[in-house]
Amino acid sequence: MKLVILDRDGVINFDSAQFIKSPAEWKPIPGSLQAIARLNQNGYRVVIATNQSGIGRSLLDMDALNTIHEKMHKALFAAGGRIDAIFYCPHTADSACACRKPKPGMFKRIAETMNVDLEGVPSIGDSLRDLQASAVAGCLPILVRTGKGPLTLAEGGLPEGTEVFDDLAAAVDWILAAKKK
């Protein structure tokens, strides 16, 4: 199975320091939906792994999160794409959970649920914790310069082998070109 794992906020849609709490606040980054559609058209399954501590902070509830994801699914469908599954951590940073990135718990759940070895699977994020969770799970960490990406790149300390691209569309171009070789 060909698989790509994406972070949501800052990769697919614009991020907000105040969190994405409603469908009105969810706005796709130009080219991101079309990039996901190109992955789908080339036989890739696309999964999201996203920290959503806004739930643990009571900034949004599950109905709001589901409505945000419904908007994303509809926008992707209109662009000819789809997300095969969404994995999220609702816990706050001070939680002792195993699923909040940079811990690899969500990635382990993805591997188990999708029945796939994550070794070398492209995993695209905009923060160091995205990349760290990816690397620990055996994925290929990819940083995009959208969302928190510029700050993440400036701060350094990226996992060995991290690839860096301007945005999701450029990362997808690279993934598709690399797989054709």
The catalytic residue among 7, 15, 126, 130 is 7
**Tokens, residue 111:** 């591997």
Surface-to-core class of residue 164, CB atoms within 10 Å of its CB (0-12 exposed, 13-18 middle, 19+ buried): middle
The catalytic residue among 9, 126, 130, 167 is 9
| Whether 7 is catalytic | yes
**Tokens, residue 3:** 């698989």
Which amino acid, 6? Answer: L
Strand arrangement, sheet containing 163-165: 85-89, 44-51, 2-6, 122-125, 140-144, 163-165
Q: H or E element: which one contains 34?
A: helix 32-41
**Residues annotated catalytic, as ranges:** 7, 9
